[in-house]
Amino acid sequence: MFTQRFSSTPLGARLARHLAVHQLHTWGIAHGTDTSDTAAQLVAELAANAVTHGRVGGRDFEVRLTLAGGADAGAGAALTIEVSDTRGECRPPGPHGVAAPGPLSGGGRGLFLVEALASRWTVRERSPGKTVVAELDVKG
Protein backbone atom coordinates (compact mmCIF):
# COMPACT_ATOMS: atom_id res chain seq x y z
CA MET A 1 0.00 0.00 0.00
CA PHE A 2 1.12 3.53 -0.80
CA THR A 3 -0.50 6.53 0.88
CA GLN A 4 0.49 10.16 0.51
CA ARG A 5 -1.09 13.55 1.13
CA PHE A 6 -0.64 16.36 -1.37
CA SER A 7 -1.34 20.08 -1.37
CA SER A 8 -4.62 20.94 -3.08
CA THR A 9 -2.87 22.68 -5.96
CA PRO A 10 -2.14 21.81 -9.59
CA LEU A 11 1.46 21.07 -8.53
CA GLY A 12 0.13 18.64 -5.88
CA ALA A 13 -1.98 16.86 -8.51
CA ARG A 14 0.98 16.56 -10.87
CA LEU A 15 3.22 15.24 -8.08
CA ALA A 16 0.55 12.66 -7.16
CA ARG A 17 0.63 11.28 -10.71
CA HIS A 18 4.44 11.15 -10.81
CA LEU A 19 4.74 9.41 -7.45
CA ALA A 20 1.99 6.93 -8.34
CA VAL A 21 3.85 5.90 -11.51
CA HIS A 22 7.07 5.58 -9.51
CA GLN A 23 5.34 3.39 -6.91
CA LEU A 24 3.85 1.16 -9.61
CA HIS A 25 7.31 0.71 -11.11
CA THR A 26 8.59 -0.30 -7.65
CA TRP A 27 5.81 -2.91 -7.51
CA GLY A 28 6.84 -4.35 -10.89
CA ILE A 29 4.43 -2.47 -13.17
CA ALA A 30 6.89 -0.92 -15.59
CA HIS A 31 6.64 2.70 -16.67
CA GLY A 32 5.15 3.01 -20.15
CA THR A 33 3.06 -0.18 -19.98
CA ASP A 34 -0.69 -0.03 -20.60
CA THR A 35 -1.39 -0.61 -16.91
CA SER A 36 1.03 2.10 -15.79
CA ASP A 37 -0.27 4.61 -18.35
CA THR A 38 -3.92 3.90 -17.49
CA ALA A 39 -3.25 4.15 -13.75
CA ALA A 40 -1.38 7.43 -14.30
CA GLN A 41 -4.36 8.84 -16.21
CA LEU A 42 -6.78 7.73 -13.48
CA VAL A 43 -4.65 9.31 -10.73
CA ALA A 44 -4.26 12.49 -12.79
CA GLU A 45 -8.00 12.85 -13.40
CA LEU A 46 -9.02 12.08 -9.81
CA ALA A 47 -6.31 14.31 -8.34
CA ALA A 48 -7.30 17.16 -10.69
CA ASN A 49 -10.92 16.76 -9.59
CA ALA A 50 -9.86 16.81 -5.92
CA VAL A 51 -7.94 20.03 -6.52
CA THR A 52 -10.60 21.67 -8.69
CA HIS A 53 -13.85 20.55 -7.09
CA GLY A 54 -12.88 19.17 -3.67
CA ARG A 55 -10.51 21.86 -2.48
CA VAL A 56 -10.99 23.28 0.98
CA GLY A 57 -8.54 26.02 1.95
CA GLY A 58 -5.71 24.73 4.14
CA ARG A 59 -6.60 21.06 3.58
CA ASP A 60 -4.74 18.49 1.52
CA PHE A 61 -6.04 15.66 -0.62
CA GLU A 62 -4.85 12.08 -0.21
CA VAL A 63 -3.94 9.37 -2.69
CA ARG A 64 -3.84 5.71 -1.72
CA LEU A 65 -2.73 2.90 -4.02
CA THR A 66 -3.21 -0.75 -3.18
CA LEU A 67 -2.02 -3.63 -5.34
CA ALA A 68 -3.84 -6.87 -4.52
CA GLY A 69 -2.46 -10.07 -5.97
CA GLY A 70 0.81 -8.50 -7.15
CA ALA A 71 1.85 -7.50 -10.65
CA ASP A 72 2.88 -11.11 -11.41
CA ALA A 73 -0.52 -12.54 -10.39
CA GLY A 74 -1.94 -12.14 -13.89
CA ALA A 75 -5.69 -11.81 -14.25
CA GLY A 76 -6.25 -12.01 -10.48
CA ALA A 77 -4.37 -8.80 -9.68
CA ALA A 78 -6.11 -5.47 -9.15
CA LEU A 79 -4.89 -1.97 -8.47
CA THR A 80 -7.10 0.20 -6.29
CA ILE A 81 -6.69 3.96 -6.55
CA GLU A 82 -8.35 6.06 -3.86
CA VAL A 83 -8.37 9.86 -3.93
CA SER A 84 -9.88 11.60 -0.92
CA ASP A 85 -10.69 15.25 -0.38
CA THR A 86 -12.40 17.08 2.46
CA ARG A 87 -15.25 18.76 0.60
CA GLY A 88 -18.42 16.74 1.10
CA GLU A 89 -21.03 18.96 -0.53
CA CYS A 90 -19.49 18.64 -4.01
CA ARG A 91 -20.14 14.97 -4.72
CA PRO A 92 -19.63 13.40 -8.16
CA PRO A 93 -22.53 11.46 -9.69
CA GLY A 94 -20.97 8.00 -9.32
CA PRO A 95 -20.70 5.09 -11.73
CA HIS A 96 -23.00 5.12 -14.75
CA GLY A 97 -24.24 8.60 -13.82
CA VAL A 98 -21.63 10.52 -15.80
CA ALA A 99 -22.92 12.27 -18.90
CA ALA A 100 -20.71 12.61 -21.95
CA PRO A 101 -19.39 16.16 -22.26
CA GLY A 102 -20.28 18.19 -25.31
CA PRO A 103 -17.61 18.66 -27.99
CA LEU A 104 -17.21 22.35 -27.12
CA SER A 105 -17.55 21.90 -23.36
CA GLY A 106 -14.78 23.45 -21.30
CA GLY A 107 -14.85 20.66 -18.71
CA GLY A 108 -16.60 17.52 -17.58
CA ARG A 109 -14.19 15.06 -19.13
CA GLY A 110 -12.45 13.85 -15.95
CA LEU A 111 -15.05 11.44 -14.62
CA PHE A 112 -16.03 10.52 -18.16
CA LEU A 113 -12.44 9.28 -18.62
CA VAL A 114 -12.53 7.51 -15.24
CA GLU A 115 -15.73 5.77 -16.32
CA ALA A 116 -14.06 4.67 -19.57
CA LEU A 117 -10.69 3.60 -18.15
CA ALA A 118 -11.43 2.04 -14.76
CA SER A 119 -12.57 -1.56 -14.45
CA ARG A 120 -14.84 -0.38 -11.63
CA TRP A 121 -15.28 2.83 -9.65
CA THR A 122 -17.42 4.32 -6.92
CA VAL A 123 -17.71 7.23 -4.50
CA ARG A 124 -17.55 6.69 -0.73
CA GLU A 125 -18.51 9.06 2.05
CA ARG A 126 -15.86 9.96 4.59
CA SER A 127 -15.76 12.44 7.40
CA PRO A 128 -15.06 15.06 6.30
CA GLY A 129 -15.51 14.78 2.55
CA LYS A 130 -15.49 11.89 0.11
CA THR A 131 -13.26 9.29 -1.50
CA VAL A 132 -13.42 8.34 -5.16
CA VAL A 133 -12.23 4.76 -5.65
CA ALA A 134 -11.18 3.43 -9.04
CA GLU A 135 -10.11 -0.17 -9.59
CA LEU A 136 -8.00 -1.34 -12.48
CA ASP A 137 -7.58 -5.01 -13.38
CA VAL A 138 -3.85 -5.63 -13.87
CA LYS A 139 -3.08 -7.49 -17.06
CA GLY A 140 -0.32 -10.03 -16.46
Domains contained in the chain, CATH given:
2-100+108-137 (3.30.565.10)
Which class for 72: exposed (0-12), middle (13-18), buried (19 or more C-beta within 10 A)?
exposed
Grade residue 72 by pLDDT with cuts at 50, 70 and 90. Answer: low
**pLDDT tens readout for residues 79-136:** 999 999 988 776 666 677 766 767 766 666 778 899 999 999 999 998 889 999 999 9
For 112, other C-beta atoms within 10 Å of its C-beta total 15
pTM: 0.87
Give 52: exposed, middle or buried? Use CB within 10 Å, 0-12, 13-18, 19+.
middle
- The pLDDT confidence band at residue 73, using thresholds 50, 70 and 90, is low
